[in-house]
């Protein structure tokens, strides 16, 4: 009998650019500065805590919303840093990574025909999640000039319609490395004031903000927090992206709907990792020292590339550095990234991949969350371009 034909829920989706570039990097022995993950390990103490939890028998299902001690630690951190008191019992949920949190927030809130405004370039999971929910993505491109990228709030306001259900924001921003500031949050608050529009705030790089600037979490602004799902990631903060543990904070009424989807999506999250993370968070230095750790890498990467033919764009947050290559090549971004991987043996990601329809600006993204020796080898090769 013939295999049944499956009608795709995501017909436009293929293999991600991250998978393709990582495969190409491996084939050509290139330094992989493309996909955003560290090539160094986490604090051994965190591993010890996981081992202790496992050996203590904490290996069965935890509560659906997450281990209480971890939810309490998350709530305490948010209140200390951003001044908002979330109820750990009703307003914090531990998730199987930030992407699951983002997708679940969209699935619980967006109904068929609802519009969701997405700012591009954008992390690649937002738009498919909206489509899976039956929603209509409405994309608005960031403004780009000699100072870098910024959100055109007037265009966001113009994109709002009676069908707008949600606005997705991301700060610090992947892939551009920009951050939202208080005037950005003021502009967003003005747009949603008096509406039923929800905010989905992707803040997975919250602890990677540089030059003594502070992360402006949506949790900090009561006008926005009362209508927002705020998402973050332990994988990003503690160099354990493969653990896939994140969390979401939201008002109780919104969280109740989130948990309805969460319980039938993944139900719950790895138990010993949750207990280990709860113990590890008792020392706030684990995340408070992260900006200085990554700024040292950013500054060294930046200083070396300044001597090359690449043009560096501002990188106020995340562990990404975007560069223009118009003084080097006329190739498209995808072609240039492939050429760089094959011939120079350094992998990057074309920023055009973060647009739903592609957008050529001759910009690629490097990840500097790598060991010093990895970065030194990559920079030695890039200097020859």
CATH code: domain 45-286 is 3.40.640.10
pLDDT of 46 over the 90 cut = yes
Predicted pLDDT of residue 233: 98
Q: Which pLDDT band holds residue 12 (cuts at 50, 70, 90)?
A: confident
pLDDT of 192 over the 80 cut = yes
Report how far residue 106's alpha carbon sits from residue 101's, in angstroms, rounded to the nearest whole number.
9
> Which of 328, 355, 323, 353 lies closest to 339, judged by CA?
328
Predicted pLDDT of residue 3: 86
Range in 14-18, 54-58, 262-266, 281-285 with the lowest mean pLDDT: 14-18
Q: Which pLDDT band holds residue 83 (cuts at 50, 70, 90)?
A: very high
Predicted pLDDT of residue 147: 80
Predicted pLDDT of residue 148: 87
Q: Is the dihedral of CA 236, 241, 245, 249 positive or negative?
A: positive
Q: Give the predicted TM-score (pTM) of the model.
A: 0.96
Does the domain made of 17-42+290-382 have the CATH classification 3.90.1150.10?
A: yes
98-138 tens-digit pLDDT: 999 999 999 999 999 999 999 999 999 999 999 999 999 99
Query: H helices within the chain, ranges in order?
Result: 17-28, 44-55, 68-82, 98-109, 126-132, 153-159, 182-192, 222-225, 234-237, 252-265, 271-280, 285-288, 290-305, 333-339, 372-382
3-state SS, residue 88 = coil
146-169 tens-digit pLDDT: 788 999 999 999 999 999 999 999
Report how far residue 367's alpha carbon sits from residue 316's, in angstroms, rounded to the nearest whole number.
14
Predicted pLDDT of residue 9: 92
What are the sequence ranges of the domains in the chain?
17-42+290-382, 45-286
Q: Which pLDDT band holds residue 13 (cuts at 50, 70, 90)?
A: confident
Residues 6+ apart with CB under 8 A from 330: none
312-356 tens-digit pLDDT: 999 999 999 999 999 999 999 999 999 999 999 999 999 999 999
Q: What is the mean pLDDT of residues 44-67?
A: 98
Q: What is the DSSP string of 158-223?
A: HH--TTEEEEEEESSPTTT-----HHHHHHHHHHHTTS--EEEEE-TTTT-B-TT-----GGG-HH
221-236 tens-digit pLDDT: 999 999 999 999 999 9
Give the chain's mean pLDDT. 96
Predicted pLDDT of residue 15: 77
207-218 tens-digit pLDDT: 999 999 999 999
230-277 tens-digit pLDDT: 999 999 999 999 999 999 999 999 999 999 999 999 999 999 999 999
Cβ–Cβ under 8 Å, residues 18 and 34: yes
Q: What is the mean pLDDT of residues 62-71?
A: 98
* % of residues, the chain, pLDDT over 90: 92
Predicted pLDDT of residue 2: 81
Count CA atoms closer than 13 A to 181's CA, side-chain side: 8
pLDDT of 1 over the 80 cut = no
């Amino acid at each position: 009998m013939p295999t049944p034909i499956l009608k795709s829920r995501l017909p436009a989706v293929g293999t991600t650019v991250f998978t393709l570039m990582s495969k190409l990097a491996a084939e050509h022995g290139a330094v992989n500065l493309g996909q955003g993950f560290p090539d160094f390990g986490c604090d051994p103490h965190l591993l010890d805590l996981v081992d202790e939890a496992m050996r203590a028998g904490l290996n069965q299902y935890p509560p659906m919303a997450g281990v209480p001690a971890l939810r309490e630690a998350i709530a305490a951190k948010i209140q200390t840093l951003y001044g908002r008191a979330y109820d750990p019992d009703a307003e914090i949920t531990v998730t199987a990574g930030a992407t699951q949190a983002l997708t679940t927030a969209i699935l619980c809130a967006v109904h068929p025909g609802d519009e969701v405004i997405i700012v591009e370039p954008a992390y690649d999971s937002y738009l498919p999640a909206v489509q899976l929910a039956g929603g209509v993505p409405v994309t608005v491109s960031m403004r780009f000039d000699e100072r870098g990228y910024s959100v055109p709030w007037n265009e966001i306001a113009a994109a709002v319609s009676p069908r707008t259900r949600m606005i997705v924001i991301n700060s610090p921003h992947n892939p551009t490395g920009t951050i939202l500031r208080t005037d950005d949050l003021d502009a967003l608050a003005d747009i949603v004031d008096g509406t039923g529009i929800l905010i989905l705030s992707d803040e997975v790089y919250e602890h990677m903000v540089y030059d003594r600037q502070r992360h402006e979490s949506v949790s900090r602004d009561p006008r926005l927090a009362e209508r927002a799902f705020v998402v973050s990631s332990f994988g990003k903060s503690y160099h354990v992206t493969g653990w896939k543990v994140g969390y979401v904070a939201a008002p109780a009424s919104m969280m109740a709907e989130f948990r309805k989807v969460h319980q039938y999506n993944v139900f719950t999250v790895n138990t010993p990792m949750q207990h280990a993370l709860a113990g590890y968070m008792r020392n706030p230095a684990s995340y408070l020292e992260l900006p200085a750790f990554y700024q040292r890498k950013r500054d060294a990467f930046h200083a070396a590339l300044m001597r090359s033919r690449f043009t560096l764009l501002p990188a106020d947050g995340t562990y990404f550095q975007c560069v223009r290559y118009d003084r080097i090549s006329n190739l498209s971004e995808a072609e240039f990234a492939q050429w760089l991987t094959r011939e120079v043996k350094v992998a990057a990601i074309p920023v055009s991949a973060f647009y739903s329809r592609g957008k050529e600006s001759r910009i690629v993204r490097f990840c500097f969350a790598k060991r010093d020796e990895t970065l030194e080898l990559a920079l030695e090769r890039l200097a020859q371009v």
